Amino acid sequence: MASYLGLVDLADYEHLVDTLGSESAKYLRQDFFSRLQEWPRPDDKTRILKNQRFLVIFKGMDTPAALELATAKLARLFEEPCDLLGDPVAIPIHAGFTLLEDDTQTAIQEARAALRSAKRSSTLYQLYSPEQQGRLKDEVQLISNLEAAVELGELQLYYQPKVHARHNNLVGAEALVRWHTKNRKVLEPSHFIDAAERHQVIRPMTWWAIKSAVATMAQWSPELGISVNITPSLLMDDEVLTVVRDALDIFSVTPSRLTLEVTENIMADNQQVMLAQLAKLRKIGVRVSIDDFGTGYSSLAYFRDLPADELKIDKNFVVKMLGSPKDQSIAKTVIELAHNFSLKVVAEGVESKAVAVRLKEMGCDILQGHYYDQPLPLSEFDKRYKPNQQ
């Protein structure tokens, strides 16, 4: 008879020790184990493993519905925060499950893989699935190739022109990463950015992008700027401030020529920290742009205190604008909203002259899109736009 085997773990014990101190973390761990005592049924087997994970075998339980009940109980047991001397602190847990047929060691390995994937996806639990593990293996391979690519200089920034809507002159470019792989393929970010963001490699990649964009600007005429995309999670620590400050210092570039683009969903988590970090960047003199605007769910209230200089209307609204009155209304609303809060507006995804003209009539400040140009390798951008000699 098959039974589910599960492993339960505290989310990140080292982090708990760092943030709460070792005594409180220890107390929280005791609370974790004592709550787990109430989870199994009398005939189930449990054990605490050497690495402090809790192992359970739900004897005879082999249907997803029964597992769902068991995990619902697990969630209930950890609903209440732990009371640390009057301070309520949530107990962050994850679990991984698999079906135990006969080989316990294999089942433990599978549950461990499922637990890892629960941690990675920030979900309470995952059930082992061989296909998913296959995908994970592919991702591990991709990440290791990408790490090597950063080291070997296989990443390049391409530059897409940004044009002043009324004067029609070049105002700068957005830097967009491309990966020139060993087998001569050029990969666009959709093939690797999401995976990079799930792993640490996004960090060296982004620092490299900031430095090389600033180095490029040092070669360009002083009125031209460059925008670099930055993943919201990297704003959470102060390293970004050091990287930006150092790059601008080393290359003697005026801070206001660098724009950092962050997506609208920065506000989803840790709003206060994100706002504070954006404010610190602006204090250095760097510009902040809210990318893909209109696709998230920001409340109007957040505009009041938003430390930003620019909104970028998401290309999905811009591309179809002329055939879709609704998209056009959204673009118009974003432009008005931005101007009411003294922000500049960039439209990306401008693919035709007609759209460019309409956006200009609507008061949009800056235009970017295939109508003007694709993202270009630096040498090509230099040849076409002569940014060094404006």
Q: Which residues bind ligand C2E (CB under 6 A)?
A: 160, 176-177, 188-190, 193, 206, 209, 229-231, 261, 291-292, 315, 319, 348-351, 369-370, 375
- Choices 24-32, 106-114, 227-235, 352-360 (CB under 5 A): range interacting with Mg ion: 227-235
- Choices 122-130, 213-221, 238-246, 258-266 (CB under 5 A): range interacting with Mg ion: 258-266
CB of 276 to Mg ion, least distance (A): 22
Q: How far apart are CA 388 and CA 159, in angstroms?
A: 14
Q: How far apart are CA 116 and CA 137, in angstroms?
A: 12
CB of 21 to ligand C2E, least distance (A): 34
Most distant pair of Cα atoms in the chain: their distance: 80
CB-wise, 270 or 316, nearer to Mg ion?
A: 316
Cα 1 to the center of its chain, rounded Å: 43
Residue number, nearest CB to Mg ion = 261
CB of 374 to ligand C2E, least distance (A): 7
Q: How far apart are CA 213 and CA 335, in angstroms?
A: 28
Q: Is 229 in the site for Mg ion (CB under 5 A)?
A: yes
CB of 124 to ligand C2E, least distance (A): 28
Name 99's bridge partners: 4
Q: Which two tokens stand for residue 258?
A: 């660098």
- Choices 34-42, 111-119, 259-267, 278-286 (CB under 5 A): range interacting with Mg ion: 259-267
Give the helix ranges, DSSP H, for 64-180. Answer: 64-77, 104-120, 130-152
Q: Which does 206 bind (CB under 5 to 8 A by kind): ligand C2E, Mg ion, none?
A: ligand C2E
Q: Is 160 in the site for Mg ion (CB under 5 A)?
A: no
Q: How far apart are CA 294 and CA 297, in angstroms?
A: 8
Return the closest-CA partner of residue 360 out of 108, 101, 168. 168
Q: How far apart are CA 196 and CA 201, in angstroms?
A: 6
Number of residues counted as binding Mg ion (CB under 5 A):
4
CB-wise, 61 or 347, nearer to ligand C2E?
A: 347
CB of 41 to Mg ion, least distance (A): 51
CB-wise, 128 or 293, nearer to Mg ion?
A: 293
CB-wise, 251 or 371, nearer to ligand C2E?
A: 371
Q: How far apart are CA 146 and CA 336, in angstroms?
A: 41
CB-wise, 67 or 286, nearer to ligand C2E?
A: 286
Phi then psi for 189, rounded to 5 degrees? Answer: -60, -25
Q: Is 264 in the site for Mg ion (CB under 5 A)?
A: no
Residue number, nearest CB to ligand C2E = 369
Q: Which does 370 bind (CB under 5 to 8 A by kind): ligand C2E, Mg ion, none?
A: ligand C2E
Which amino acid appears at position 365 of this protein? Answer: D
Site string for Mg ion, 282-321 (x = CB under 5 A): ---------xx-----------------------------
Q: Reduce the DSSP state of residue 377 to 3 states and report it.
A: strand
Return the closest-CA partner of residue 311 out of 321, 302, 324. 302
Q: Is 261 in the site for Mg ion (CB under 5 A)?
A: yes
Q: How far apart are CA 187 and CA 242, in angstroms?
A: 29
CB-wise, 229 or 277, nearer to ligand C2E?
A: 229
Q: Which does 321 bind (CB under 5 to 8 A by kind): Mg ion, ligand C2E, none?
A: none
Which amino acid appears at position 106 of this protein? Answer: T
Q: How far apart are CA 79 and CA 73, in angstroms?
A: 10
CB-wise, 110 or 348, nearer to ligand C2E?
A: 348
CB-wise, 112 or 287, nearer to ligand C2E?
A: 287
β-pairing verdict for 287-293 and 93-100: unpaired
Q: Which does 176 bind (CB under 5 to 8 A by kind): Mg ion, ligand C2E, none?
A: ligand C2E
Return the closest-CA partner of residue 311 out of 256, 273, 261. 261
Q: How far apart are CA 290 and CA 344, in angstroms?
A: 10
